[in-house]
Structure formats: structure tokens, C-alpha cells
Amino acid sequence: MLKSKTFVKKTRSGGVMKIVREHYLRDDIWCGSEACSGCKQESTVLQTDACMESSLCSYPHYLVPDTNVVLHQIDVLEDPVIRNVIILQTVLQEVRHRSAPVYKRLKDVLHEKEKHFYTFTNEHHRETFIDREPGESANDRNDRAIRVAAKWYSQHLKTFECDKDGLKVVLLTNDQGNKQKAEESGLLVYKCEEYIKSLIANPELVDRLALSNDDKNEIGSSKVLFPEHLPLSRIQAGIKCGSFLQGTFRASRDNYLEATVFVQGEGDDSTEVLLQGLQNLNRAVHQDVVAVQLLPRSQWVAPSSVVLQDEGAAKDDDVEEEEEEKALRISAAEAARKPTGKVVGIIKRNWRPFCGMLNVSQIKESTRHLFTPADRRVPRIRIETRQASTLAGHRIMVAIDGWPKDSRYPNGHFVRSLGSAGEKDTEQEVLLLEHDVPHQAFSQAVLSFLPKMPWAITPEDMVRREDLRHLSVCSVDPPGCTDIDDALHCRELENGNLEVGVHIADVSHFIRPSNALDKEAASRGTTVYLCGKRIDMVPELLSSNLCSLRSNVERFAFSCIWEMNHKAEVLKTRFTKSAINSKASLTYAEAQMRIDDTNMNDEITKSLRGLNKLAKTLKRQRIDKGALTLSSLEVRFHMDSETHDPIDLQTKELMETNSMVEEFMLLANISVAQKIYDEFSECALLRKHPAPPPSNYDILLKAAKSKDVEIHTDSAKALADSLDGAKVDGFPYFNTLLRILATRCMMQAVYFCSGMDSDFHHYGLASPIYTHFTSPIRRYADIIVHRLLAVAIGADSTYPDLMDKHKQSALCNNLNYRHKMSQYAQRASVAFHTQLFFKSRGILNEEGYVLFVRKNAIIVLIPKFGLEGTVFFDTKGKTVPNLVFDEEGPTLSVEQHIFCIFDKVKVTITLDDSNVQHQKIRMSLIEPVITGVSVPAPDAEPQAKKLKLDN
């Protein structure tokens, strides 16, 4: 049956267009129940024996939740207990429009076979489709459609069910009006909360209920603590006329009464508005999009240097924090003032489930407790749970439901337990969740697009590929690497020139545009490398097998081949899809050994020597153009083979072969960037590194000046030359420290679409154009670049999204976000394993260097461990020494001793695990000896746990 939907749409020019859409109604949409004898369905989802032990429903039943129940109670619906649920098409469409995260979670649940969730296409079923009545709102029409579908199911099952007294359909809604109308039409209907509370066998499910508006009103006090948020219409009008500013709320890690709002202006122009005090923060949560109003200039303040953590017992809703807020104002009196404002409304909440720990209430039998998030930027959350004694000492997840104006804390509900705090697996899970790293197992939909095994190259595959399997190709990687993206070769040509090839895994051959595998890889964006664990961007069959360029197996590659002379000048460049057979998978150390061993003269070794010689020339040429050689200490843990705990911690050593591989990867990336930009000037995916603003270099210039060294920062070349010449007699580590500091001054490199930007320059590499081509197994950007290059050389066909600069730009935003979060997750993993390492070491004493000087502390770098820590001089409970901070130096005078950047010190290192959730490496000063400040050197270090040796 064919119906038509008619609606009007406003055009860009202001006209009105009538749109008529055909809408098909069918008779062959089945109910999905295995109890039904009337539907001619091949497979069923809903079970006959749909029993849940409920005091309200003692009979088998299916649940039909309305849209608001799905939106607000998704945590409950995801629980394994809840099965045999009918998700109506009306509900699915509404959820899709109103919340992308909930929609994704609902789709995941629908794919779980053991949950028995069934999608019923009620909008296309002849008996359940309804037209919108005149004067009826879209919301009321959808509520009616849900009731009609639930009624149809009840009657349908009554008619066709084998057991006539059995299955019933229960509608779940929290809307009082909808519930009343459902009851009037003879439907079985309950509020979600009353149904969940009726599940006798699973009382813990009640904790996962999001609070309804009625509950939210109960929890707060009668006293109004916060100003009312303005409605969206007032906010939009205020932003339009300039009385309000829109920006992202960024809470402070160190001070719960302070935040900034980042307001994006035209182009790169942006401003930050400072907020201080609970009233001015007005219930905004980190990363919310808010509207702020600037305070009069006379009320502007400066950022506080006071550290304030919201800790200890719950503060009452009617107690104002006057003392702490006064401390803020006092400390800010002398300093430079910043634009200061207050939050007047919330434009978009950015709430997510937060990881943290429960502060169990001191009141006996209480079900209300405070939850402290792991992220110090997120406020504590008040939740109701009957499992407090079980959850104490566990890492748990909690979601915020709302923040009434009469409540000191937001209200939320328990989502799930992650495990005991401090356990490695639990902490790793927290780390991944808090950094938004997608780490769930790949779904069946994704895995279905993998090639069938056994896989082999066929003659058909070789029709459009160059056969390079005869070449002496090899790969050089870190030890234990299984996702080998790149391989190299170098050989002499008859004309005396050299042929150099960089061969990159042809991942885009296996991952085709827009299928489930491609969408998952695009969402993940990057492989995340943690200590002892890898979170793959693509399934392991590809990352460690079919795409990995392992030795002595045939693999597809995308090759970039140059003809060069012996001065490393590129004479010709060509790109080709190829097949290779790597002759050796080497580590950096093994490759270095081959190069250095004069007795070895096989083809692979000769190839490596040729590559190494050219790489040195290429590096010299790059540095001459102004490329920067910066430094950051990377650490490597040696793990116990049984416990997987770190037993040794060392900074990574770089060899010539590291640099050799890097030079050819850089050259390949630059060559490909130029090629794809020449072919697709509007939609090439490129990578740029903006030049830092001059103010970023202040600390570097001051540090160099303190040792009478001059640094020029007017260009990358000037900076590189000054760093090369920066030396201090008797202080060989000075240059490395200076380069570490210079690294901190740099901006973040980002992906962008060439049609949306005009500045392509890569500051650090001194290259006018750059992209990422060489790591498609672990970076999605490289897959897009492969596709662009394949189209450019006629090796593959294009598709619409590839040529859409707006979609490319949106993709770049996600990749930049994923890349940044991946780096943060990796640093957090190193920090956690560093804490594990020091946990069993007691107190160590080590030499280090002052990296930064603060008002009340020095930040010390320990080169041996690549570790940074803070030595505080105003520790609670101790007499504070005489401190004088000079910002110009910067220097800090402690009693009579003056600390400058790069001073050598000796410190003790211990792990402070008094707060399980926020463990810290603590440092105390041994040398220089300052009376009343320094601590005595500890006795001999405890023996580090020995490596277990096999006899």
C-alpha cells in the first residue's frame, strides 16, 4: 500500500517548497516472536519463555519502552537482566535525532543476540502506521504511534500465540499523560522505575535508574544555592546582541572554585573568560558549552595560585564556602586581572559516565553517598545506592542526571563497577574510559568484512600491481613489533644512480570505503600503545597478519620509489601498488649491527648501508633548511614475564638506524603530500605544524639567559642554529635540557583539509607541505591519503566523501581529537607503570635538574628515569621556610639558597599512595642542604626484584 507524506520546507532564499514523499505500508513485517504461529518469519528474536521475576508481572512478557525511557534509562536497558524488548521504529528514529551516543549504545544492544532486543518497523506496517492529526504535535503523534504499536502486539500475540494465557506486552513510560492514555486503551503500562523496583531477583538494578524530575526535586535543599539558568531563547538573543559570549567551560584541575571559558572568535582569534566562585561557575561541568556574561571591569580578578581540592565530608547544601572563596580573592589582589564573568546558561551538556570512587556516607543505613571522579575537573556527584559496602574500594562508573539549583552537588546514578582500585586491569580500564579510547571488541558486523582465510595473492590481484617480490626489501622496527607498516630497499642502477623504495602496507586494499570496518577504523582514528598493551585501530587479522609486512611472506604494498644520485638528490619519483616479499624483519639494534659488521656483505646489509648513507645526507639537508631536532625523554619498562609488573625503567636510546628509517618516512610523506595536493587541491588530507606564538618561548629564553646563552626564535632555522650552538662548559647535559624545554614551547601538529586552510607549513620539519602516508595500520589519516594517492595514479576509483572537503574537515577534527587523547592515554599509562615501579622500591635518591621554578616549588627532571616530579616547600603541617619568587629570573629563594632553571639537585623519590585514586610520586630535597628544608639521604636502596632466569 502506498501513502504519501507532504510537508513544506523553507529554502535558503527564503521561499517555501512543498515536498511530497512516498511512504510504503506493508503486510509482511513480522512480529519477531517465536511464540507466534501467524507470522511467516524465518528467524525469530523474542523468546516464548520471556520470564523476568517481577512482583508486578508474574507472567511471561515483552517490554515496549517509549523514547524517553530509552534516552534516560539506557544504563538499565543495557543490563544483561533486561531481555525480550521491542524497540519500535518510532522510538529508534526519535533517539537517533535526539542523542547520537544513546543511539549508538542502543544499536549495539540490538546486535547482542543474547539480549533478544527486536526492532519492529511500526512506521511501515499497515496496521500500526498512523497519520498525524490536525493540531497534534509531533511528540503527541509519536506517543500515540507507540501506544498503537503496543496495542497491536497485545492483540496479535493473543490471536496467534499457541499458549492463549501466556505472553503479554508491557509498555514502559515515565510520561504521566502517556501512561493515563495507555491505561484508558486497555494496555498494561508501568513507569520504568516501578517496573525495575518490582524485579525481585535483581534489586541492584535500582541503583542504575536515572533520577526522574520528581526525584531530583526531593534531593536538594529548600535554599536556592545557584542562579537560575536562562532559557535557550534568551541565551541566543543575548549572544546575537553581544551581551553574552558562547564558549567551552574548562574546569581547573587544581582549584574546584575556578574555571575558564574558551570563546572562539573569528579565524584563529580567541579569548578566555575567567570564572571564580560557585555562584559564577553556576553548575557548569567540564567541557559543557555555556553562555557567559562578563562582569564589570571593577570585578575582574586574576587566576588564583591557591590549590583547592573539594575533598573530605560532603558540604551541606546550605553552607556557603565563604572562607575558601575569600582565599581566592586575597591571593588574586596584586596580580594582573583577566576578563572575568559568570555562567548564565547551559547551551549543551557534555556529560558522560565518569570513573571514580565512592565516599561512603558516615550515616548508618544511608543510601545517599558522594562519588569522587578520577578527573579532578569534574565535581563530586551525589548518588543513591544500596550497595555502598560492596562498592567501597572499587572503581565505579557514575552518570550525572541533573543539577538542581538548590543542590550543592549534581545528582547521578551508579552505572557499573570496574573492579578493585589499584589493580592493573581495573586502572587500565579507567585510563581508557577517561581518555575516551574506543577499546571494545570488534563487532561481528566489523569482522564480517575481513578477508576469508586462508588468504593468498592471486594472478587477478597482480593485473594492476607491480611485482617487486624479487627485491631485497627489509623492515626495521622496535623489538616485539608485529604491526609492521613499512619496509625499505636500496639498490644501485646500471646508470650509477640509486633506486630507493619505501613500501607501505596496502591497508586500503582490505578496508573499503563506508563499510562497517571502515567506519570503525575512522571512529577509532589511531592505534593506542599502552605499556604492555596495544589497542588496535583495525582487527588483529589485518594489523598483525595480512597487512603486516612480515618477513618471508608475500604482502600487498603501496610503494614510493625514487631514483637518487649519491648526493641524495631526488631525480625521479613514482608511486605504484605492488606486491613485495620482505627478506628480513629487523630491530633497530639488529640493523645497526649489520651496518657496523664489516664481515657482512649480503644484499640486505648492502641495502641498509646504502640507505644509512643517504639518510645522513638527507638529514643534513633538512637541518640546513631549518628543521628542528628536539628532545623528549621516552621511557621503556622491562616487565616481569610472569606478573607483568615493571622491574626496570630506562630511557630509550636512539640509534643511527632510528634516524635512517625516520628520514625515508619523512621523504615519502612529503613526496605523497605534494602529489595528492597537485591532483586534489581542494580535498587533500595534509598535516601542518603551526609556528608557536613568540610568548611560548619566554621560558626557553629565560632558561638560556640564566646560563648566558642566547637563543634566537624569529624562525625555525634561527632556533635550530642557536640550539646547535648552545653549550655550557662542564655541563654536557645542558643542550639536551634546552631541547626538552624547546619541545614544550611547540604547538600541536594537526590534520587539515587543503580546501579549508591556506597555511600548509610544517614548522618543525621546515617543510612547505606534509602528510601522513607511512603508517596506515595504526593511523586512519594514512588510509585516506592512500585512497587519494590511488585515485591520483589511477589505481583505484573515487567515492563522494573522499572529494567532499567539508566531510574531510570533519574527519580531520575527529582524527586530531583521537590522536590527542591517545597521547594523553599513553602518558597516563607510563605514569601508572612508573608508580608501580616505585611502589616496590621504597625511597630512592637520584640526581636531577630543575626544569621549572614556581612560587612555592621546583619541578625536577630525573634523566635516569625520564621522570618529572615536584619538590614543594610549603607542605601542610610543616614550618614554611622564607620563600621569595622572582618571576623575571625565574628564580626561587628558599631561606638563603636561590634556585634557577637547570640547577643540579639531589632528591628522594617515593610513591605516596595515601589516596588510592590519586597516587603521586613525591620528591624531597637532599642537596643542596638547606636547614629545615632538606631531608637526609636514605640508607642503601632496597634491592630491585631480580629478573627470573630460566635454568
Give residue-wise pLDDT tens across range 413-467: 999 999 998 888 899 999 999 999 999 999 999 999 999 999 999 999 899 899 9
Look up residue 812 and give its three cell numbers: 580531520
Give residue-wise pLDDT tens across range 50-107: 888 888 888 899 999 999 999 999 999 999 999 999 999 999 999 999 888 899 899 9
Look up residue 126 and give its three cell numbers: 499497515
Residue 451 to residues 454, 477, 511, 515, Cα–Cα distance (Å): 9, 26, 10, 13
Query: For residue 327, what pLDDT is reported?
Result: 54
Query: For residue 948, what pLDDT is reported?
Result: 35
Closest by CA position to 808, among listed 791, 788, 830: 788
Give residue-wise pLDDT tens across range 493-509: 999 999 999 999 999 99
CA distance 899 to 859: 11
Closest by CA position to 942, among listed 652, 647, 651, 639: 647
Q: Are 119 and 87 in contact (CB under 8 A)?
A: yes
Do 2-208 and 842-927 fold alike per CATH?
no
Query: For residue 389, what pLDDT is reported?
Result: 86
Query: For residue 582, what pLDDT is reported?
Result: 96
Residue 673 has pLDDT above 60, yes or no: yes
CATH of 226-302+336-350, one of 2.40.30.20, 3.40.50.720, 2.40.50.690, 2.40.40.20: 2.40.50.690
Query: For residue 631, what pLDDT is reported?
Result: 66
CA distance 573 to 67: 58
In the chain, where the domains are located: 2-208, 226-302+336-350, 464-687+753-823, 692-746, 842-927
Query: Concatenated DSSP letters for 331-372?
Result: HHSSSPPB-BEEEEEEEE-----EEEEEE--SSTT--EEEEE
- Signed CA dihedral, 871, 855, 310, 217: sign only: negative
Banded pLDDT at 3 (limits 50, 70, 90): low
Mean pLDDT of the chain: 87
Once rounded to an integer, what is the mean pLDDT over residues 915-932? 84
Cell 578527573, residue? 375
Look up residue 714 and give its three cell numbers: 624569529
DSSP state of 549: -
Cell 549534581, residue? 410
Residue 236 has pLDDT above 80, yes or no: yes
CA distance 237 to 943: 68
pTM: 0.83
CA distance 688 to 746: 12
Q: Are 372 and 917 in contact (CB under 8 A)?
A: yes
- What's the first-to-final CA gap in the chain, in angstroms? 79
Q: Are 4 and 19 in contact (CB under 8 A)?
A: no
CA distance 718 to 266: 31
Query: Concatenated DSSP letters for 787-843?
Result: HHHHHHTTSS---GGGG-HHHHHHHHHHHHHHHHHHHHHHHHHHHHHHHHHHHTT--
Q: Are 292 and 247 in contact (CB under 8 A)?
A: yes
Cα-flanking dihedrals φ and ψ of residue 196, to 5°? -65, -40
- Signed CA dihedral, 306, 312, 317, 318: sign only: negative
CA distance 859 to 848: 10
CATH number attached to the domain at 842-927: 2.40.50.140
Domain 2-208 = CATH 3.40.50.1010 = yes
Give residue-wise pLDDT tens across range 267-289: 556 788 999 999 999 999 999 99
Once rounded to an integer, what is the mean pLDDT over residues 715-719? 87
